[in-house]
Amino acid sequence: MPKRILIIYTGGTIGMKQTVNGLAPAADLMAEITQLIELGPAFHENPPQLQTLSYEPLIDSSDMTPEIWLKIAADIEMRYDDYDGFVVLHGTDTLAYTSSALCYFLRRHGKPVVLTGAQLPFGFPRSDARSNLISAIEVAATMPVSMAQVCVVFGSRIMRGNRVTKISANAYDAFDSPRFPLLGSIGIDIQFFSSLHTRAPEHPDLDVRLQLPEDNAVALLRLHPGISASMFRAVCASPGLRALVLEAYGSGNGPTRDPQFLDAVRQAVASGVMVVVVSQPLDGVVTFERYASGSGLAGVGAISGRDLTTEAAISKLYFLLASGASASSF
């Protein structure tokens, strides 16, 4: 029996058209998808049944917000029993944030939810739009049930949704998963890596219509030589701030010879701000106990983000805040 796949078009480069102000999202992509649906033989065997849902308004992914994460999750939840898989078409700039968010905001994970986009729009010479779309549909239709999850399909890679990050503005393999093995690869055939036949548990008791925090609830700060306690405090003084992702060095190291900086972190934690530490290097993993400069941050209450990407840490914090969870849930 053919698999039923829903394609959700949110906007992004994949469907953009040239305007007087530059490239902008356009509804014309739906005509391209309709043609693809009519060309069932483009898929090797037993072509899936495709249906579409287009957002209004379509957005450039630089305009993505947590509210739209919640909308995408709710739209999938509402139709979850009607389809075997889902493909979300998304702009590349914030695609990794949305794929991470869906890993947390979706309460059911028994079916593939595949995000993809393109470096060049449909109709452009050498565009990757059609190949990425076809690959995403095939992955959504053929991913083994034992590993069904939120994932990103882009270029030649299949990647876990909350371990992916954008690494290039020009290459067709624009995304990578440096802190977690690839789920599969795309060449002449699609190959799923059997050693990764795992997926997230379902949480049917969670309500996908969560209460998002107010604006400015989550902030991001990157450590650099010369950063001061006053800079840290200025960020933490933002009205409504409830969580801060701190991009630290290496395995979670920070300026621990600066007692004022450590005291600023301690005061932020004491005031109720969750401070989550992630690693700046693409393949970095936070291990506080490796260096004294890492244990210093742990000693003042900072939370290890372990192998989380920055995108995953931010979206997870929004989920925890929306669900009313405490720092101990991180």
As annotated, the active-site residues are 13
Omega into 57 within 30° of 0, i.e. cis?
yes
Calculate Rg over the CA atoms of the chain.
Answer: 21
Measured CA to CA in angstroms, residue 294 lies from 60, 128, 276 at distances of: 38, 42, 13
Q: Distance between CA 99 and CA 67 in Å, rounded?
A: 14
Measured CA to CA in angstroms, residue 262 lies from 179, 182, 294 at distances of: 28, 37, 11
